[in-house]
Every structure is written in C-alpha cells, then in structure tokens.
Amino acid sequence: MTHSTGSVSACLPIHSDLDLVRARQQVRQMTAQLGFGLVEQTKLVTAASELARNALVHGGGGQMECTEVTGGGVRGLRLVFSDRGPGIADLDLALSDGYTSGEGLGMGLGGARRLVHEFRVDSRRGEGTTVTVTSWAAAPPRPREGR
C-alpha cells in the first residue's frame, strides 16, 4: 500500500492526566471526521490512551502527533508518541502480555498493538521511546450512480 502522508494536523503535549483526556478527545474527534466506524474509533482512542499513559508514566512525559494519511484510496490516522525517558530495555518482554513495570494490568504496549493496523516501536536506552501507530477507516461504500 502506498502511503501519502499529510502534514501534522495536531501536536499535543502529554504531561498530566488532563493531557491524557485531551489526547483521547483529539483522537476521537479526528477518527470520527475521517469516517472510522464506532468500533475502530474506540480501538484507536483506547490505544492512544495506553500509549499516552506509557509516555507519561514511563517516559516522564512527551507528546502525541496526529497526522492524516491516505493509502490505496483509504484514509487513516497516524499517531506518533514520543518521550525522552529511559527507553525500553527489553522490547520483546515489554510487548508480551502481563508485563508491567508500573500500575495497570500489563496490557499497555502489547494490547495497544492489537488495537491498531500498523505498529512500530523505536527505543534507545537513555534516549527515549517513539511509538508510531496507524489505523485505517474501512473503504467507504461508493455512492451509487444517481440517475
């Protein structure tokens, strides 16, 4: 699928639990505008909540960038979460279910991966972590030829 990336339409700081609420509302609003179904909206909002909280709790705060993308005629939303925290020591371990280094049920990273269509983690010890996720709105049904 060829991706054409639009410009970043929103960039939100993540430094408090108020910012988590803002991040969720931003993603909800954008997915609704892009024509995501209710279930796909909820999945991406939930994934954003997990990843934003990760950036806040483990990365000491960071930011979320939202970008509208287009691929194969389908519109989607790309979210990039970045922090300048300690990084993830063992990525495989962090992605496995039940692993947790903080509060929660240990579903943050691995769970978020199952809620989105594309998922990528870049992490360097001591430099921080960047998680990029993308989800697509299902192809909208073409309007019937009105004659």
Residues that bind another protein (CB under 8 A): 9-10, 12, 17-18, 20-22, 24-26, 28-29, 38-39, 41-43, 45-46, 49-50, 53, 97, 103-108, 110-112, 114-115, 139, 141-142, 145, 147
In angstroms, what is the minimal distance from the CB of 126 to another protein? 27
Closest CA to 50 of 11, 9, 85, 95: 95
| Kind and range of the H or E run holding 6 | strand 3-14
b/e burial code for range 18-42 (CB count within 10 A of at least 16 → b): ebbebbbebbbebbeebebeeebbe
Q: Closer to another protein at the Cβ: 41 or 67?
A: 41
In angstroms, what is the minimal distance from the CB of 101 to another protein? 13
Q: Closer to another protein at the Cβ: 93 or 127?
A: 93
Tell how far CA 125 is from the center of its chain: 21
